[in-house]
Amino acid sequence: MSFVRKPRPYSSGLPPAPLPPMPRPRPERAPRRPRVGRPQLGRSSWAGAVSALAGLGALLVLLVGLSGLWNQVARDWQFRSAAAGVLDVVR
């Protein structure tokens, strides 16, 4: 003897709904012609953009490096100048 209830089919008492109409087949379209007047963009534009960004990045690194080097030289020059002034006072 099984105590599991068996599912009953759903029935609202209404007649079944009619099936939706079948979709009409679409007529086949002619293949599109490529546009004339606009150049086709290829991978060269991406390559140019990446190369330009790499060049700008290298220029930025070079500029920051030269700025740091200049600051270091200027600080060293100021330190030597101050040391020379102190030595003049001590003498």
Q: How do the domains of the chain map onto residue ranges?
A: 49-91
- The whole-angstrom separation of Cα 45 and Cα 24 is 44
pLDDT for position 23: 84
- Strand locations in 1-91 (E): none
What's the pLDDT tens digit per position in 4-13? 776 666 666 6
Global pTM value: 0.42
* Burial of 30 from C-beta contacts in 10 A (0-12 / 13-18 / 19+): exposed
Model pLDDT, residue 30: 79
* DSSP-based three-state secondary structure for 57: helix
Please say if the pLDDT value at position 53 is more than 60: yes
Nearest partner of 50 among 62, 61, 58, 40, judged by Cα:
58
